[in-house]
Amino acid sequence: MSVLAAAVTAVGCMTAAGCTGARSSGDGARPSGAPPTGGSSTAAPSLSADPAAAARALVARLGDEDLVGQVLMPYVFGTDARSVSAAAAESNRGYAGVATPAEMVARYRLGGLILMRRSDDPTGPTNSATNIESPEQVRRLTAGLQGAARALPAGVPLLIGADQEFGAVTRLREGVTQLPSAMTFGAAADPALTEAAWRGAGTELAAVGVNVDFAPVADVLGPAGSAVIGSRSFGADPKVASGQVAAAVRGLQGAGVAATLKHFPGHGHTTADSHSTLPVLAQSRQALDAADLPPFRAGIGAGAWLVMSGHLDVRSVEPGVPATFSRAVLTDVLRRQLGFGGVTVTDALTMEPALRWPPGEAAVRALLAGNDLLLMPPDLAAAQAGLLGALRSGRLPRAHLVAAVTRILTVKLRLAGFAQPDLSLLGAGPHRAAAVAAATAGVTLLRGACGRPLVTGPVQVTAAGGRQRQRDWLAAALRAQGAQVVSSGGTVVHLVGYGDGAADLRADAAVTVAMDTPYVLGRAGSGTLLATYSSAEASMTGLAAVLVGKARPAGRSPVAVAGLPRTACR
């Protein structure tokens, strides 16, 4: 019998995969709401009356290497657990001294792994690995990884995470329902739409074996509009953002995927990028409480199982120390003031602010500050050695490590109570309908006539930067709405998106549409200005309905745009 099976049996569970009884609201997590309906067939959780008790029984049986392994969440190279390319094997050897992901799980007794995909989004500098190709491939990979974890003496399943924020930062892009960006949801400001959409998205993540989503982003944008966060945020209003964050948490966790609030205590009031430097949060403690912390409070209140610490210099709490390494921020503020009892995970330890210490030292400092999971240590062997050395020397108290691992195992036992959905639910009709409903509700008119069609007659769709996919989606959606789409000579509808500026605007466009943050619209001369905040297909579908007058542009810009109202539809 594995350690997991023995511990589960000790608290009266029926199997190692899940226990009968009601969900617990202990240890900082509350029930996530009713079972999913519609296109989501995720089974209602079946857990012991106290998963934390099962976790305590389990952790008492773990040795030093198993305890240390549970707090490590590295990346891996390769698209299969046991069979990888020569290049991936070489990369794994350079990172962790093993050839395959399964060997990495076995050697380091890992608690989790993050799946990645190379990208040109704000997180690109830290995305060194690629192991996401298709939903079917990801499901095979995650099944192989979990098989490697079950083969260990502890038999403890893995937390398998991904940055599936939707919008600019999205790892699984093909074959799954794509939600619009967080800012779209902020513009719609309808928590019911948000919860339904994120529940569908969570069901599809669970189907491919991803049980932790490093989302939602709980950062509130300041007046300068953080470029690294941008449309990843629900907006600049703490109250609106709070409702949206809570709804996303309920949706994800209702589908059996752990939500992660990030980047604590808030990355939105700085314009610097924590991938390459240490951003400074200069606001007063009072301003931090009023403008940055509310969405984190709301997400914790909704039962979020994880919070990600940010590499941020919070001057009003502990100046000069990145929040990831600040006990004052993570223990005093997050745990004591906000009452969070779940799992705290670092932002990537491969980012510049975390590299000021050697990997082993950074791992120890991060854990002592109040983190439980160490995400993407730059040298896995060094991180493990540093933690084992600190544990055996007494610098890292065993009780501290045990508490961290107990929180991690509690989340794992909660997740184990959900049945894995079938791949047939990927792109399910109700999931796509929920995405389109939210995307349509978020479309915002910032200039133009409200209450009538915004285009009549032939329409010509153009786009900056060769965004052919979005042009095609919008053209197809317009045709489906009965509009005539032409290649030249029609009313010009011009699309601008992520990374575009004033030079990407078109002077002869009758309608200009911002598919990312709407700030560029302040410099557009078109008579009609619209924002979708997202370039997802669902957003183009909603935009088409608004353009032909079959849907009202009822959104309200979540951020201020120079010279424009938050909405022209009052």
Question: What are the backbone dihedrals phi and psi of residue 170, each rounded to the nearest 5 degrees, phi first?
Answer: -145, 125
Of 121, 163, 213, 347, the active-site residue reads 347
347 is catalytic: yes
269 is catalytic: no
- 320/216 same-domain check: yes
Q: Specify if 569 maps to a domain.
A: no
Least confident of 114-123, 483-492, 542-551: 114-123
- Mean pLDDT on 469-483: 97
CATH of the domain at 496: 3.40.50
- 421/448 same-domain check: no
- 523/397 same-domain check: no
Final residue in a domain of this structure, among 425, 457, 489: 425
Place of tokens 């099976």: 5
Report residue 570 as tokens: 């009052």
pLDDT band at 27 (very low <50, low <70, confident <90, very high): very low
Of 275, 311, 431, 494, the active-site residue reads 275
Number of domains in the chain: 2
12 Rama class: left (phi>0) / alpha (psi -120 to 50) / beta: left
Q: Which among 339, 381, 334, 386 is positioned nearest to 360, based on CA atoms?
A: 386
- 382/500 same-domain check: no
- 419/481 same-domain check: no
How far apart (Å, rounded) are the C-alpha atoms in residues 119 and 123?
8
pLDDT band at 48 (very low <50, low <70, confident <90, very high): low
- pLDDT, one tens digit per residue, over 485-543 is 999 999 999 999 999 999 999 999 999 999 999 999 999 999 999 999 999 999 999 99
> 467 or 31, which is more confident?
467
- 337/456 same-domain check: no
> 152 or 235, which is more confident?
235
Q: Which residues is 495 bridged to in the sheet?
A: 463, 513
Quote the domain boundaries for residue 525.
443-547
- 102/244 same-domain check: yes
Q: What is the mean pLDDT of the chain?
A: 90
Longest dimension (CA), the chain: 77
Q: Specify if 560 maps to a domain.
A: no
Q: Specify if 561 maps to a domain.
A: no
CATH of the domain at 367: 3.20.20.300
Q: Rounded to 5 degrees, what angle do the CA atoms 192, 197, 200 make? A: 130
How far apart (Å, rounded) are the C-alpha atoms in residues 122 and 348?
13
- 145/275 same-domain check: yes
Taking 90 as the threshold, does the pLDDT of residue 42 lie above it? Answer: no
- 371/302 same-domain check: yes
How far apart (Å, rounded) are the C-alpha atoms in residues 45 and 96?
35
Place of tokens 């830290």: 126
The model carries a pTM of 0.91
Q: Specify if 374 maps to a domain.
A: yes
pLDDT band at 121 (very low <50, low <70, confident <90, very high): low
Q: Specify if 437 maps to a domain.
A: no
Radius of gyration of the chain (CA): 23
Report residue 9 as tokens: 């049996």
Q: Specify if 389 maps to a domain.
A: yes
Distances in whole angstroms, Cα of residue 360 to Cα of each of 159, 344, 384: 22, 19, 7
In the prediction, which pLDDT does 4 show? Answer: 66
Q: Specify if 557 maps to a domain.
A: no
- 472/358 same-domain check: no
Q: Specify if 432 maps to a domain.
A: no
- 420/449 same-domain check: no
- pLDDT, one tens digit per residue, over 391-406 is 999 999 999 999 999 9
In the prediction, which pLDDT does 124 show? Answer: 59
Final residue in a domain of this structure, among 392, 425, 458: 425
- 245/320 same-domain check: yes
